[in-house]
Every structure is written in C-alpha cells, then in structure tokens.
Amino acid sequence: MARAAATHPALPEVTHPALPAATHPALPAATHPASTNEDRATSVVRSYLGALARGDRSTAGSYLAQGAPSESFMNESASVESVRSEPSGGAYKVTADVKTSGGEYFETFTVAPGPGGLQITEHYWIRPQ
C-alpha cells in the first residue's frame, strides 16, 4: 500500500537585523597607554638598527633627531638579540643587545617625541671586553 507524501508548510525565512559595525574612536596620542608608546619607541630603534644592518645609512639617519649613525659595526652579519624600552621623563630609554661577527654590543637610546613622531635624540654603544 502506498503512502501519501507528507507535506509540511513552508517555514518563514528568518532574518536578523544587521548589527552596527564596531567602532573604536582613536585616542589622542597623549592618552594612549604607555605600553603602546613604549612599543613605538622600540619599533623606532629596531627600524634604525635594521636600516644600518642593510647598509641603508640614509634611512637610518632619518630616525635620528640630529647627526649621523655612528655604528660602524652594524652590517649584514648583525643580529638584534633584544630591544627593551621604558619610560624616562617624557621620553623613552631603549636598550638593545646586538651581536655581530665582530662581537657583541650594547646600545642605549633616548627616544623622544619630535615634530614628525618619535625620534632618537641620543644614543651610544659599548662593546664589553
């Protein structure tokens, strides 16, 4: 005996209202969390050292508020082992550990706000014996 096919009424299409896109207003630079500015200071130093390692002294010099790069030891063999930043009186003290084929160097940078953003205002390096 054949059965009749069961029929079900069509279900209505379910729609959901579109949710508004999440918006996050940009904070003025002065109210950004310190870690963000510390990260930026670290990034400036990494970019500076990276340009030197590539032999691009012109780009490296653009990260300096004044003067020219003095790290003659920076070349393609250089490896930036670590970079750390901490607030220091309205600026940032950034330290870097760099290993090269000629030895290990420790650099200290002062990174401060300038007209175009954060810039390296002072830096020096030492090579431990």
Backbone φ and ψ of 79, nearest 5° = -130, 120
Q: Is residue 66 pLDDT above 80, yes or no?
A: yes
Q: Is the pLDDT of residue 3 over 80?
A: no
Report if pTM > 0.85: no
Q: Average pLDDT in the 109-124 region?
A: 95
pLDDT(36) > 60: yes
Contacts of range 97-103, beta carbons closer than 8 Å, 24 or more positions apart: 98/49, 98/73, 98/74, 98/125, 100/73, 100/74, 100/75, 101/75, 101/77, 102/73, 102/77, 103/73, 103/127
- pLDDT tens for 85-94 read 999 999 999 9
pLDDT at 10: 52
Q: What is the predicted pLDDT for the residue at 129?
A: 75
Instruction: Examine the pLDDT at 21 and tell me if it is beyond 70.
Output: no
Q: Which of 21-35, 52-66, 78-92 has the lowest mean pLDDT?
A: 21-35
